[in-house]
Amino acid sequence: MKRRTFTVSQPGPLGAAVESALGPGQGALVARGAVYVDGKRVVDPARDLRAGQVVSAVVSEGGASTLEAKAAPPALHIVFEDAALVVVSKPSGVLAQPSPGEVGSSLLDQVSAHLGHPAGLVHRLDKDTSGITVFGKTKAATSALAGHFREGRARKLYLAVTPQFAPAEGDCALPLSRDPSRPGRWRASSKHQGVSAHTTYRQLGGKDGLVAVALKPLTGRTHQLRAHLAALGAPIVGDRFYGGAPTFEGTPVRCLLHALELALPEGTFRAPPPADLSHALEWLGVALPPPGQ
């Protein structure tokens, strides 16, 4: 992927400016999340621009539009929907929101297309992580959801497969800081100044040195569960970035982390594990924890 960048010569709507600079039809890149104004992503093609503002559009190599750069994403799996919320089950391998290098097929894009207007994103799952996530349908609903997450009223339950470790039940409150030796990775350590993070965990059982672990993040930090488990000596199977084993039963796997349940004041929602994690749980002889556990 590469960017095409231009400076606005006269005031006008963003979509028209992109089409003038990049060609007919390229204004659609705006709604896909592939256009940035003065370094900030803008998804409204009617956004008025001033002369002198700098616009960047993410395009594929050779200048082709990113509209044609990605295969169609998996079908949207809606778990629950009402006038305020859309609760969906995110497949592994799908981005929660567009990134400069991958646009048009994120979960946010899909939900926004389903609604016919931008969805309200209040929390994110990593690309490889599967499971339950929620979007607001209105500004008021999105604000209320953000408050639930910020003030601890959103309770999350995750499942992971890791090496067996001790103790079998407990918590980890190691602060998180960026790892200077590995861009993009976080380290959980009391030796470095970082942001507070708190996770409780309970091993559900397993065999041959592997276990299924139920995890409850009491804070919502980037890579929190992955970094905490790595610090406990139990990196998630498939999580190569944090030192996890690359295979399960000799087969390469993604990071075996799944957001099983999300409890909100509006209700409790579940996303059954996908086939890869279901297979791992069956092999380990572990049943899913009951709702609310």
pLDDT at 19: 87
pLDDT along the chain (293 residues), means of 10: 81 89 82 82 87 83 47 85 97 86 76 91 95 96 95 97 97 96 94 94 97 97 97 97 96 97 97 97 96 82
In CATH terms, the fold of domain 155-284 is Pseudouridine synthase (3.30.2350)
pLDDT at 61: 40
pLDDT at 162: 98
Longest dimension (CA), the chain: 67
126 catalytic? Reply is yes
Domain extents in the chain:
2-68, 78-150, 155-284
Q: Are 2-68 and 155-284 the same fold in CATH? A: no
pTM (whole model) above 0.85: no
Class of domain 2-68: alpha beta
What is the CATH code for 78-150? 3.30.2350.10
Name the active-site residue from 38, 44, 48, 126.
126
